[in-house]
Amino acid sequence: MSTVLVFDIDRLSDAGTDRFRQAVPAERRARADRFHFPEDRKRCLAAGVLLRYALLERHGLPVRDLVVARNEFGKPFLVNRPGLHFNLSHSGRWVACATSATEIGVDIEHTSAGAVDIAHRFTPDEHAYISAAPAGARARRLVQIWTLKESYVKYLGRGLNVPLNSFSVSARDRRPKVLRGRLDTRPFLKQVTHEGDYWIAECSENKSDISLAELSPEDLLAVC
């Protein structure tokens, strides 16, 4: 199984948020401080600590190897551990972190995001899949497609250089896939729902299904 770590920021106290702030690198603290709303700051800080937990507890890295930089397109990577890849995402209450020995992309979105009109950035076959759903389910399908596409773009690590309409994905069966487009490699798409209101998609070279591991505030505070 491919394990994605998830954390519910609604369980984080103000004191815990302060601890998280002290534990993350200065660059992430500065990024969090730029957010106007407290919930946005919480998500940013929690993502940094969730990554810290994954690297320290799941992969056994020493603290000195938790140095993160970004490639020319903005995708973060570990400076001292080029063979270990990670990706972060957050939406609503939830923050997600995925790690892999190969490139990886993860995306989480609340189904309410389907109210945003982004379908014009999709391909005709994706439009057809969304439109085939009953009217009340179309926003949910839109987010299903959106998370799959975002996970693939994040896997490629080239940011806005990969427009969402430059490739298409299929979600018609249990094994989502990239149908056509920028197929530099043959990654696997995996997707699950969480709490009924969120879609989580992962793109990697690991074809096994996704398993979610929900962490508690105590789990994350232990690495702060």
Q: For the chain, how far is it from start to end, CA to CA, in angstroms? A: 28
Alpha helices in the chain (DSSP H): 14-23, 26-33, 38-53, 124-131, 138-156, 217-221
Q: List average pLDDT for each run of 10 residues in the chain, which is 224 residues long.
A: 93 97 95 94 97 97 95 92 96 97 95 75 87 88 92 88 85 70 72 94 90 97 97
CA distance 35 to 38: 7
Q: For 137, left (φ over 0), alpha (ψ -120 to 50), or beta?
A: alpha
Domain limits, the chain? 2-221
Q: Which fold has domain 2-221?
A: Ribosomal Protein L22; Chain A (3.90.470)
Looking at residue 106, its amino acid is V
pLDDT at 118: 73
pLDDT at 185: 61
Side-chain half-sphere exposure of 178, counting CA atoms within 13 A: 26
